[in-house]
């Protein structure tokens, strides 16, 4: 079974277990989107999956577990057991996973430095042409960072 159809089956199962209508899930995701998801015509984003799980009053991981149980024709308990074994073997089962702050791209860092230099020279009263000569950069670059 494809992951798309497995998600459809999981969503229908969880919604049915809670006696909820598609419209009752549509406070965060449109009813037509829920319908398309349950028909297996589209796949959800992670954000949509999270919103759907919240509307179902379950943890997003539960929705994913039921999805993969449907796909693999296993019980959710078996999927949990497999995941637990894998995470244990990786040494991640009891470890907190810290979010890494995105590092600045070198081009972004260079651009920020250029802007700071341009602004500092502007504050000293230099004209754009003076800044071009002082920093040895293109006039268009100075103009972009001028205001």
What pLDDT is attached to residue 98? Answer: 81
Residue 72 lies in a domain: yes
Instruction: Please state the pTM of the whole predicted model.
Output: 0.65
Helical axes 3-17 vs 46-56, angle rounded to 10°:
20
Tell me, yes or no, whether 39 and 85 share the same domain: yes
103 has a pLDDT exceeding 80: no
Residue 55 near residue 28 (C-beta atoms within 8 A) = yes
| Average model confidence (pLDDT) across the chain | 90
27 has a pLDDT exceeding 80: no
User: For residue 22, what are the domain limits?
Assistant: 3-89
Residue 39 lies in a domain: yes
The mean per-residue pLDDT over the stretch 132-137 comes to: 91
Q: Count of domains in the chain?
A: 2
- End residue of a domain, out of 56, 89, 122: 89
Tell me, yes or no, whether 46 and 79 share the same domain: yes
Residue 76 lies in a domain: yes
């Amino acid at each position: 079974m494809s992951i798309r159809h497995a998600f459809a089956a999981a969503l229908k199962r969880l919604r049915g277990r809670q006696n909820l209508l598609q419209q009752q899930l549509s406070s965060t995701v449109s009813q037509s989107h829920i319908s398309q998801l349950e028909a297996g015509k589209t796949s959800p984003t992670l954000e949509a999956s999270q919103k759907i799980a919240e509307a179902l009053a379950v943890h997003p991981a539960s929705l994913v577990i039921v999805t993969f149980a449907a796909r693999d024709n296993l019980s959710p308990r078996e999927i949990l057991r497999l995941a637990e074994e894998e995470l244990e073997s990786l040494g991640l089962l009891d470890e907190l996973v810290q979010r890494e702050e995105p590092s600045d791209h070198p081009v972004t860092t260079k651009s920020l430095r250029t802007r700071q230099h341009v602004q500092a020279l502007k504050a000293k009263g230099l004209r754009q042409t003076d800044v071009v000569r002082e920093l040895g950069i293109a006039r268009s670059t100075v103009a972009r960072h001028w205001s």
